Amino acid sequence: MRLEQLFRQARHFNQGGSVWDCRAVVATLNEIVALLARNDIKSELLKELDRLGGGLGKMQGNQHIDQAALATVLGQIDAAAQRIYGHSGRIGYQVMENELFKSVAQRTAIPGGTCSFDLPGYHFWLERDVERRRNEATEWLDCFHPVQEGIALILGLLRDSAAGIWETAHGGFFQKNLDHAAAVQLLRVAVPIELPYFAEISGSKHRFTVRFLTGLSNERPVQCSEDVPFQLTVCLL
């Protein structure tokens, strides 16, 4: 989910044409590279896609399942897996080995470390023609497309795996035990937009808790005392 957000963030900033948009793209790419360096995301995605394909494949022939929709999903899973599997080497190695990107990455840990006087080459690149600069940034982002696509598919299927039900957090507090026979993968909480509360979720393998907090940006959030209606979705595949 962190990678999902970072990919969206990078694509968003890459639509802009200013130097600051481009700086944001490069900074976000640096976060993506750092996150990928800690995990073998390629193997993890292939394993999860294989698990999903195997589980959904068992539903073929079930008269209670829309077979056309199932075939479409299975095709998407297979195509995503093939694209990831067919990507030779480490995901994003083209970006990681780019000399300009490496010079920026080495300075990002220093506050203000990517100023023009620190990285004149980076400054020169940022001041180039907007379309040329954006096209190069797009090429960098596209290096991660198989991973971005696989993550979007897996999370999309997971989020759509269950329907939300309305619950009430009495005094801003809600707790529920988990079914030990079902491996819950994701909890989603939706709050009516007009309510001035946000949800804080915590849990263990036995139960989870949702607390609804309120507070201005300059105040420490506190649990609300009112009953809060919300929609809860327990996702698993």
CA–CA–CA angle 69, 71, 72 (5° rounding)? 65
Alpha helices for the chain (secondary structure H):
2-14, 19-37, 41-57, 67-85, 93-96, 99-105, 120-126, 130-142, 145-159
The confidence score (pLDDT) of residue 28 equals: 96
Q: Indicate whether 141 pLDDT > 80.
A: yes
The confidence score (pLDDT) of residue 170 equals: 97
Same domain? 67 vs 134:
yes
Number of separate domains in the chain: 2
Q: Indicate whether 103 pLDDT > 90.
A: yes
Quote the domain boundaries for residue 193: 162-235
Average of per-residue pLDDT across 30-59: 91
Pick the last residue of a domain from 124, 157, 190.
Answer: 157
The confidence score (pLDDT) of residue 65 equals: 84
Asked if residue 133 lies in contact with residue 22, where contact means CB atoms within 8 angstroms, the answer is yes
The confidence score (pLDDT) of residue 213 equals: 95
Same domain? 128 vs 173:
no
Q: Indicate whether 60 pLDDT > 80.
A: yes
Same domain? 112 vs 6:
yes
Same domain? 134 vs 71:
yes
The confidence score (pLDDT) of residue 181 equals: 79
The confidence score (pLDDT) of residue 64 equals: 84
CATH number of the domain encompassing residue 171: 2.60.440.10
Q: What contacts 9, CB < 8 A, 6 or more positions away?
A: 24, 28
Same domain? 9 vs 126:
yes
Structure token pair of residue 147: 């991973």
The confidence score (pLDDT) of residue 152 equals: 96
Query: Of the candidates 192, 201, 202, which has an alpha carbon nearest to the alpha carbon of residue 226?
Result: 192
Residue given tokens 């139960």 in the structure block: 207
The confidence score (pLDDT) of residue 199 equals: 96
Q: How far apart are CA 53 and CA 47, in angstroms?
A: 10
Give the tens place of pLDDT for each residue, 87-101. 777 888 888 888 999
Average of per-residue pLDDT across 45-56: 93
Structure token pair of residue 117: 């006087």
Q: How far apart are CA 92 and CA 127, in angstroms?
A: 25
The confidence score (pLDDT) of residue 182 equals: 79
Asked if residue 33 lies in contact with residue 98, where contact means CB atoms within 8 angstroms, the answer is no
Average of per-residue pLDDT across 144-159: 94
The confidence score (pLDDT) of residue 72 equals: 93
Q: How far apart are CA 203 and CA 194, in angstroms?
A: 27
